Structure 1
């Protein structure tokens, strides 16, 4: 539900209406509308498509739909990651937050590419792990929107909060993803030969 709420909240940026932009970023977004549209459009689509990829019944009963949805997710990730890489150098609270957001975009693109590669090789254990990491990184959109208000309520000045959120919005998600991956059932080992 958090993913869908985030997608709906963030989709308003696609109007490119300056009134919906964060005050501190309005000038940057107005100067970089195309990367913003790529980043937000791809992110919204990836956030919405991701949860369906983790439904076992869908994978088992409709593998073709799982593959199609996965390809659409990868295209969405490519758009949001590319837009993010183009926007990050112009981000607030440089260089701390821009470096964090650049790392997020790079890791998202890499983990998604590795998920795709392992699926192509039919290495489903690695595919599931990399797909989990990829979606954890996409969900940085949601955790960012949780952390900023929480830090504001805690009295943390905006610049400090934003610098921290540039990292915490995805690092914590990856820690949770690694915990989940560690709980995945492992395939049975092949019996010894001879």
Structure 2
């Protein structure tokens, strides 16, 4: 799977913007919570803080794991970033599972977020297991899938903005978005990283800069 430099830049910029916007939740200021969930967040600030902190770490570091230049020139730094990313996924995923039972939108949304949290932990854990067994290509596949779920933080907010602009019913939209923010991401990541018998393995995500130039 290869992405262009522009594609990588869009991914990194969107991730960084959501990190900056969502960091305000760590202030635990009630005014930062949307009104429908304010009382719930105030009653569950510890799991909220756990989830937000872990997710922000994972989202901020995730794009840099796809830098072939970083892997090639500084593998030790790549490993350190990877370990920190996986710790962010672990913390964020645990927080997600703790928050899912009280999520806004009823049983449909709660199940959607619970499945997202479980899949997030599972893909990250599998990616770690693959590299510990020196199965590098499988590790790369699973880390792409992991970040597809981390990127749900971006797609969730973009979809909520779109629903607001379209003036859709917030509760109904939220129930659908609880699934749409991550299922298509995971399916696309799975499709692009699937093993193709008889074809060269292209699960390594690279950013092509220019003919004859360096990969990012």
Q: What's the TM-score bracket when you normalise by the shorter of the two chains? A: over 0.9
Partner of 2:34: 22
TM-aligned CA distance change 1:126 to 1:92, over 3 Å: same
1:103 is aligned, of 115, 120, 129, to: 115
Partner of 1:191: none
Q: TM-score, normalised by structure 2?
A: 0.83
Deviating more after overlay: 91-100 vs 175-184: 175-184
* Structure 2, unpaired ranges of 5+: 1-12, 203-216
* Structure 1, unpaired ranges of 5+: 188-194
Partner of 1:36: 48
Give the number of equivalent residue pairs. Answer: 187
Distance 1:50 1:122 in 2: 21
Partner of 2:3: none
Secondary structure of 1:65's partner? helix
Measured after TM superposition, the shift of residue 7 of structure 1 is 0.6
| CA deviation vs aligned residue, 1:166-188 (integer Å, no higher than 9, x gap) | 0000012112212331499518x
Q: How does 1:76-155 map to 2 (within 5 A)?
A: 76-155=88-167
Q: TM-score, normalised by structure 1?
A: 0.92
TM-aligned CA distance change 1:152 to 1:183, over 3 Å: farther
**Higher RCO (CA < 8 A, seq sep 6+):** 2
Which structure shows the bigger proportion of residues in helix conformation?
Answer: 1
Distance 1:140 1:132 in 2: 13
Q: CA RMSD in A?
A: 1.4
Partner of 2:211: none
